[in-house]
């Protein structure tokens, strides 16, 4: 895709915040733009294609006026209304509105009383103690603002893995069309699948004589903002999308493996390899591995031959963080790490029964058409999550009936019934046991009270006989919200003891559990479920990101429930219920 979907989705999200800022009489506009932003983000077709076919007016969820704005953007690269709004509204600090407890009224007051328009001005005002005196700005609120500003600042330095991957995929696609390019690969943190990415590194091999042609084509690709540095084998450019730096390095075929290894990193992994090389009497650098004694080149063409020469198994890039991955190779675990092909189902997704964009039938049809899964679990929100249109007991019962009808018609049991039930403030659940008991799978999540310690709340949910999984356990949103505090050692113990799984939520902003907590959970013997939490058909693709987390945490199929047959999952559910029954009978 061209990336235009994402850009427009971002613009509409900003416009929605701007209308929210402008006041209550603009709230319908705010809602319309917010919806349009989500629709564009969820669209699985390039908006440029839709525009070409003159079908902008037919996209569900996008009205005529917004379709016109899309048309205007594609034709002129600008939306006039957006430019006007930007002049009227202190838009730079609007992103602060995403953080709870900090609404449009606060932004307005800062703007009117202190003439604050930018994040830097706000930070200065906080540091000089000017905000603290303002009506409605208590000490805690100001402290929260300071922390949010810090998060946003960090987030601007790095982008989410999925965004980086969509950029690098596009560039790789364009460059691999050049016939002088022999080999091409993305390197650096993208290849290691870190959850956030600083800059984008690309490696190419070619004959030395073709380098200048390749560099010329690279500088000419779509979306280049400026050229930062240019040499005979190295170029750095800045691209418009996310204002990112892209580094290109061109090497000879003989050096390909050594360069790829070097440029993939991590630095710590490389340091370990170089140290090991030295002990063996070798010298290792980005050009190859050489014998110190006579300078002879021993390996360099492929990564595999280099690892082999060092007496090591090939280490997949996701594991190259310099954290004991060399030990892992000895345990023969590497070949058993979970892969995308192991996944048998997606166990957390939403339909228009709550805040998803498509009907459950459409979601199910799509998965069956494009994925080889054996099952999916519908998990719409429960009633207390009102902004997400959560279901009450009666509505959930209707959904269960509807799923049964769909399955019957299809002659299978593909769609499993479930819910993402809200964990309330006191740790109890948002739906009664009568309805929960009927479900195949219950995911329980926290959607409120992010500022306090939530250990007890999660533990109480784990103790509930019908809860099978805790959704997005930390509650963090990368660059927007830190996870609430939780005593993970205790939670992992309880999860294991009660037979409750924890989720690896693969939404790009969540990645929750992250690789480190996931690794601790696995060590504690906790079962994990990788879920996309899809709100539209396109999002089923996020499963890959969840797999990256699991691999970085060294998980095998044994650790990941949704690599198992539905029968095994049923046993997981039933054995928890049975244990509670026995405990209840003994009371
Ligand atoms: P990022 O861009 O911050 O997300 O992280 P990386 O890992 O992509 O880092 P980057 O772009 O600075 O460098 C790409 C790779 O190049 C890095 O993973 C390892 C290698 N590299 C860069 N600088 C050094 C260095 O000073 N020593 C060694 N051994 N390797 C380096
Ligand atoms: Ca990088
Ligand atoms: Ca770089
Ligand atoms: Zn959800």
Spell out the domain ranges in the chain. Answer: 3-155, 159-251, 261-333, 340-379+420-427+447-586
Neighbours of 145 (CB within 10 A): 23
Q: Is 195 in the pocket of ligand 1 (CB under 6 A)?
A: no
Is there a contact between 304 and 257 (Cβ–Cβ < 8 Å)? yes
Predicted confidence at residue 465, as pLDDT, reads: 96
Closest ligand 1 atom number to CA of residue 196: 4
Strand residue runs (E) in 311-425: 345-349, 375-378, 415-422
**Biggest alpha carbon distance in the chain?**
82
Q: What is the pLDDT of residues 187-211, one digit of tens each?
A: 999 999 999 999 999 999 999 999 9
Beta carbons within 8 Å of 31's beta carbon, 6+ residues apart: 16
- The SS3 of residue 558 is coil
Q: How far is the CA of 358 from the centre of ligand 1 (A)?
A: 41
Closest ligand 1 atom number to CA of residue 270: 29
Q: Is 265 in the pocket of ligand 1 (CB under 6 A)?
A: yes
Structure-token match 């095998």, residue found: 556
CA-angle at 289, arms to 288 and 291, nearest 5°: 135
CATH 3.30.210.10 assigned to 261-333: yes
Predicted confidence at residue 459, as pLDDT, reads: 97
Q: Is 188 in the pocket of ligand 1 (CB under 6 A)?
A: yes
What element of type H or E holds 109? Answer: helix 104-114
Predicted confidence at residue 418, as pLDDT, reads: 98
pTM listed for this prediction: 0.84
CATH architecture of 3-155: Orthogonal Bundle (1.10)
Q: Give CB contacts under 8 A, 24+ apart, made by 22-25.
A: 22/88, 22/89, 23/104
What element of type H or E holds 422? Answer: strand 415-422
Residue whose CB lies within 8 A of the most ligand 1 atoms, among 265, 318, 321, for a mutation test: 265
Residue nearest to atom 9 of ligand 1 (CA): 188
Residue whose CB lies within 8 A of the most ligand 1 atoms, among 168, 185, 189, 261, for a mutation test: 189
Which bound ligand lies closest to the C-alpha atom of 317? Answer: 1
Closest by CA to 416, choosing from 340, 479, 468, 470, is: 468
Q: Is 196 in the pocket of ligand 1 (CB under 6 A)?
A: no
Ranges under pLDDT 50 in the chain? 100
Q: Is 234 in the pocket of ligand 1 (CB under 6 A)?
A: no
- The size of the chain, in residues, is 587
Which bound ligand lies closest to the C-alpha atom of 274? Answer: 1
Task: Give the separation between CA 291 and CA 282, rounded to whole angstroms.
Answer: 5
Q: How far is the CA of 259 from the centre of ligand 2 (A)?
A: 14
Residues 358-369 as b or e (16 or more Cβ within 10 Å = b): bebbebbebbee
Rg of the chain over all Cα atoms, to the nearest angstrom: 26
Task: Give the separation between CA 86 and CA 79, rounded to whole angstroms.
Answer: 11
Task: Give the separation between CA 179 and CA 232, rounded to whole angstroms.
Answer: 19
Residue whose CB lies within 8 A of the most ligand 1 atoms, among 185, 188, 237, 278, for a mutation test: 188
Q: How far is the CA of 234 from the centre of ligand 3 (A)?
A: 11
CATH 3.20.20.140 assigned to 340-379+420-427+447-586: yes
- What is the layout of strands, in order, in the sheet containing 469-470? 345-349, 375-378, 415-422, 441-445, 469-470, 501-505, 528-531
Beta carbons within 8 Å of 92's beta carbon, 6+ residues apart: 117, 118, 119
Closest ligand 1 atom number to CA of residue 200: 2
Q: Is 197 in the pocket of ligand 1 (CB under 6 A)?
A: yes
Predicted confidence at residue 98, as pLDDT, reads: 64
Predicted confidence at residue 134, as pLDDT, reads: 86
- Residue 230's DSSP bridge partners are 235
Relative orientation angle of helices 4-22 and 104-114, to the nearest 10 degrees: 70
Q: Is 236 in the pocket of ligand 1 (CB under 6 A)?
A: no
Task: Give the separation between CA 289 and CA 200, rounded to whole angstroms.
Answer: 26
Structure-token match 């929210």, residue found: 20
Predicted confidence at residue 104, as pLDDT, reads: 82
Task: Give the separation between CA 187 and CA 210, rounded to whole angstroms.
Answer: 21
Residue nearest to atom 14 of ligand 1 (CA): 188
Q: Is 270 in the pocket of ligand 1 (CB under 6 A)?
A: yes
Under CATH, which number does the domain 159-251 receive?
3.30.460.10
Closest ligand 1 atom number to CA of residue 188: 8
Q: Is 449 in the pocket of ligand 1 (CB under 6 A)?
A: no
Task: Give the separation between CA 306 and CA 313, rounded to whole angstroms.
Answer: 10
Residue nearest to atom 31 of ligand 1 (CA): 267
């Amino acid at each position: 895709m061209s990336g235009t979907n994402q850009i427009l989705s971002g613009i509409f999200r900003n416009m929605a915040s701007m209308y929210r800022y402008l006041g209550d009489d603009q709230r319908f506009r705010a809602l319309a733009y917010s919806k349009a932003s989500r629709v564009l983000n969820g669209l699985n077709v390039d908006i440029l294609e839709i525009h070409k076919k003159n079908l902008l007016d037919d996209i569900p969820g996008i009205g005529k006026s917004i379709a016109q704005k899309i048309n205007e953007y594609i034709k002129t690269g600008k939306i006039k209304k957006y430019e006007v709004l930007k002049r009227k509204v202190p838009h730079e600090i609007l992103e602060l509105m995403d953080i709870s407890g900090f609404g449009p009224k606060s932004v307005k007051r800062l703007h009117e009383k202190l003439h604050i328009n930018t994040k830097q001005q706000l930070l200065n005002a906080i540091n000089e103690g000017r905000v603290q005196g303002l009506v409605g700005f208590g000490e805690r609120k100001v402290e929260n603002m300071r922390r949010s500003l810090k998060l946003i600042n960090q987030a601007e330095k790095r982008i989410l893995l999925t965004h980086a991957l969509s950029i690098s995929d596009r560039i790789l696609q364009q460059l691999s069309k050049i016939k002088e390019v022999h080999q091409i690969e993305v390197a650096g943190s993208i290849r290691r699948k870190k959850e956030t990415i600083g800059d984008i590194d690309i490696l190419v091999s070619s004959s030395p004589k073709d380098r200048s042609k390749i560099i010329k084509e690279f500088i000419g690709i779509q979306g280049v903002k400026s050229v930062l540095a240019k040499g005979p084998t190295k170029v750095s450019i800045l691209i418009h999308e996310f204002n990112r730096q892209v580094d290109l390095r061109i090497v000879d075929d003989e050096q390909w493996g050594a360069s790829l290894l070097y440029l993939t990193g991590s630095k710590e992994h490389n340091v370990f390899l170089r140290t090991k090389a030295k002990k063996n009497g070798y010298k290792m650098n980005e050009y190859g591995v050489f014998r110190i004694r006579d300078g002879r080149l021993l390996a360099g063409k492929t990564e595999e031959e280099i690892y082999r020469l060092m007496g090591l198994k090939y280490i997949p890039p996701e594991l190259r963080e310099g954290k004991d991955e060399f030990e892992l190779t000895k345990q023969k675990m590497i070949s058993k790490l979970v892969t995308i092909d192991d996944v048998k189902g997606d166990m957390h997704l939403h339909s228009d029964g709550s805040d998803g964009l498509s009907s459950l039938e459409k979601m199910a049809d799509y998965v069956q058409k494009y994925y080889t899964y054996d099952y999916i679990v519908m998990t719409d929100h429960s009633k207390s999550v009102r902004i997400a249109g959560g279901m009450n007991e009666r509505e959930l019962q209707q959904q269960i009936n509807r799923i049964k009808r769909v399955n019957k018609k299809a002659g299978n049991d593909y769609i499993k019934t479930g819910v993402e039930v809200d964990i309330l403030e006191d740790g109890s659940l948002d739906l009664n046991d009568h309805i929960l008991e009927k479900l195949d799978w219950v995911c329980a999540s926290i959607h409120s009270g992010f500022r306090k310690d939530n250990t007890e709340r999660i533990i109480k949910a784990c103790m509930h006989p019908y809860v099978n999984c805790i959704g997005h356990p930390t509650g963090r949103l990368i660059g927007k919200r830190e996870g609430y505090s939780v005593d993970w050692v205790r939670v992992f113990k309880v999860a294991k003891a009660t037979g409750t799984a924890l989720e690896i939520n693969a939404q790009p902003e969540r990645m929750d559990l992250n690789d480190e907590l996931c690794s601790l959970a696995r060590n504690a013997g906790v079962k994990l479920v990788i879920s996309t939490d899809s709100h539209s058909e396109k999002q089923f693709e996020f499963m890959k990101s969840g797999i990256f987390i699991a691999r970085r945490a060294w998980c095998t199929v044994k650790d990941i429930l949704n690599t198992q047959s539905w029968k095994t999952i049923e046993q997981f559910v039933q054995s928890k219920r049975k244990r509670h029954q026995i405990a209840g009978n003994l009371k």
